[in-house]
Amino acid sequence: MKYLVSFTILIIASCIIKSQPITQTERNAGLEPKINKYIYSETYSGSDTAWILTNTRTQSFDNTNKLNIFEQEKYDSNGAQKDTRWEHTYTGNLLTELKVFSWKDNDWQLTSKTLFEYDENGKITTNTNYFKNDDGEMLIGSITLTSYDENGRISEITSYRSQGVMADTNKQINTYDNDGNMIELLNQKYRNGNWVNNNVTYFFYNNGKYVGQEYKFWYGPELLIDYMDSIFYDNQDRRIARVHYKAYDDEYELDYRYTWSYDENNRIAEEYYQDWVAIDWGEPSKVTFSYDEKGNLTERHKMQMRSDEWTEKEITYISYNEYDYVTDFQFYIWLVTDWLRNTRMTYEYGEVSVNDKIAKSTTAMNYPNPFTTETNIKFFVKDSGKLIIKIMDLNGNVLRIDQITNPSAGEQNYQFNSSNLPSGIYFYSIESNNESFFNSFIINK
């Protein structure tokens, strides 16, 4: 999972709320909600004849653009059914508590919560996840501890998961070069009273530019190679290829590659994918990207080469409102002779006007969403400095933390790879100096 500056495609996964939910704290205090932005989305699955509504998701933001409530309803033959609700509590700009509720017995029932602690610099140090057992008790499910080096970079992340006692302990150790680039990520497991090496990833740079990585794992005392990626750029520093190698008999052999071309506005025009077959690259698949006059992605068209002819595979259409926020996302797959509806998401935006719209400078978005393997998170930072990106599950467990040093002010793009994560809904947060961003995405494997 590495930071990129080449991808500029995006999608907002959000829309207008139809009621005004309040946080548990406000409910207990009898206070009115301080919410001024609502985002509401509907998700449909496709049939031969129509789009069928499957769920709705509502996100509510306060006047500083922090996500307060995320609520989901599912639809079946009986209509709308309340499903899951996530409530967020902040101290200043910092998320300090995340509660998860399930709809049961005609009320929201607390099922889990996560508490977040920070140091004097506002960096997360501890997140503790609690779950409710069959007796209704809230028990600790996991604890994650994060420490930093003298430059404020993440040095270690230690995770404990409970199985009656704290067990299944893992540690991530980060090493950086003199320029602040991460060059090694070591994962260890705690076994029989000792830390044991599990796997390691090495990151490579050329004049500070990321050019590849290598992943190895321990099999007993022996360190074995697993895979390696090499990244290539053109003379304008645009990423034009990623070549993946896999291990075979302790040597690397070609596996697959991605290549990219760009239009006159430096936007990705085409993406090609090819597997290595015996002695040459196999027949490619390609994705063609189309944009409107504002640079918004409007179409993603995927085709596959079969016997020297291009055949249809899938296509995505995206529509926007006057503020360049997504209003309609439609995904189709090719079935023999015609396009088959697969997934549709519609978006409406509440409390948004010319003078009070959801600011691009305080909103993080990602495309594609849902996605299978990779998505690109797009956001805007006002000042240069460090960025901390956290990926969390629905219970608030921090699954991954990445740190980016010295990004320039302005629009940023971050590529997230969902390797080793199952299908589901996830949250991501981005901390940048005095700014914070919070949103969600869906992995669909």
What's residue 273's pLDDT? 95
Mean pLDDT of the chain: 81
Q: Model confidence over 315-359: pLDDT tens digits?
A: 999 998 887 888 899 999 999 899 999 999 998 887 643 333 333
Tokens 């005609």 locate to 106
| Mean pLDDT within 82-89 | 92
Q: Which contacts qualify for 359-362: CB closer than 8 Å, 24 or more apart? A: 359/65, 361/435, 362/64, 362/65, 362/435, 362/437
What's residue 425's pLDDT? 72
Return the number of other C-beta atoms located less than 10 Å from residue 335's C-beta.
11
State the Cα–Cα distance between residues 358 and 341, nearest whole angstrom: 31
Find out whether the peptide bond into 370 is cis, omega within 30 degrees of 0: yes
| Mean pLDDT within 87-103 | 91
Q: Is the pLDDT of residue 304 over 90?
A: yes
- Range with lowest mean pLDDT among 34-48, 54-68, 280-294: 34-48
Q: Model confidence over 269-287: pLDDT tens digits?
A: 999 999 999 999 999 999 9
Return the number of other C-beta atoms located less than 10 Å from residue 124's C-beta.
23
Domain edges within the chain: 3-443
State the Cα–Cα distance between residues 410 and 408, nearest whole angstrom: 6
Sign of the dihedral through C-alpha 82, 40, 1, 380 = negative
